Structure 1
Amino acid sequence: MNPVRVAVQADDAIILAGLTSFLETQAELCVVAKPAKSDVIVFAADRVNAQILADMRHSAQEWSMPRVLVTNELNPADALGAVESRVVAVLPRTAATEPRLINSVIAAAKGGGMMPPDLLGELLKQVEYLQREVLSPQGLNASGLTSREVDVLRLMAEGLDSAEIAEQLCYSVRTVKNVVYGVTRRLSLRNRQHAVAYAMRVGAI
């Protein structure tokens, strides 16, 4: 089995040096300097505040690999923000023993994760809230599309034009065009083809 390539990031130079030095001694791991070359990123911060969350989101936009977060303090209310930043494992620094840290990194590389029970519970509550209060009232499913949008995009994927879609769904042509305009604008999609590709990618059609 090849070693898991790990990049290390931290909000403190001393923590960064110590964590890097420790990880370099582990036969199962290979520390790399560039996050783009890594399988997993280990991010260490004494306390996860708004600035740290912003830094993690920015990092996640640049590099898509999973992250292991080591911290003394993470507000449970920020659990969803951490997950959105591709954090799949959270280790309190007081509990970040050598075996647990190594196991978390290896699990992350394999697509697994590890969350403390309190954070996991809060995360589930936040996801439930989003489903109940944000998606459902707008008629959106988990893909971010309404049932009407899915119907229109499915027929568009089959090669039908606006008039044919309108006839099949008993809509006006204007309604069909408004549906397409609405989904492309809301999801920042470039055109009809991009909308169809998005729907296919998220498994809506």
Structure 2
Amino acid sequence: MSTEDSSNRQTGIVAKWLNHRGIGFITPDGQEAEVGKDFLVHYSNIKQEPADGFKSLAEGTKVEFETTEDPKNPNKLIAINVTGVGGSNCDNYRGRRRNFHSKDKKEDDEPFVPGTQLFIGGLAEDCNWRDLKDHFKGNGEVKRADVFKKGGMGTIRYFKKEDAEAAIELLNGTEFQGNTIEVRLDKKAK
């Protein structure tokens, strides 16, 4: 696939960026964020040279990109040659953080409320944050969902303490994606 041919370029929104891992996901324009439909992007495929030397993307940023077959999984496509719209530099994670998934509510503007974050253990190896969020949103408005690939763990943060308590009561010890999950208060959350 030629990197110079602009006819192969698509536009989309950075749906998730995991700065500590140097990867993220782009939802193509015209599609709802959906499991398996977003394109994985590795920091090495971002075409910019930031002043601080760290390539990253800000969640919610509009980008242009191309796709190619994932060398590790031939049935999947990944995003490459990622730029801002029109080939400009992308907004990066440093100094500009948005929580794309919480709609109009700004996570960084709201103080952390103790008792709203849950630890989730026993997750399936292929579980992602969208699956986890969807599973838990029946118990209240989910503020944030994260999945840590190593160890089958994740976290859910609710806006309300009552919703978190209800989720513990209703979902601890239940089956999710073929595994029995542990749901408890995350005592280390800040």
TM-score of the aligned structures, taking structure 2 as reference length: 0.29
TM-score of the aligned structures, taking structure 1 as reference length: 0.27
Going by fraction, where is strand more abundant, 1 or 2? 2
Higher RCO (C-alpha under 8 Å, 6+ residues apart)? 2
Going by fraction, where is helix more abundant, 1 or 2? 1
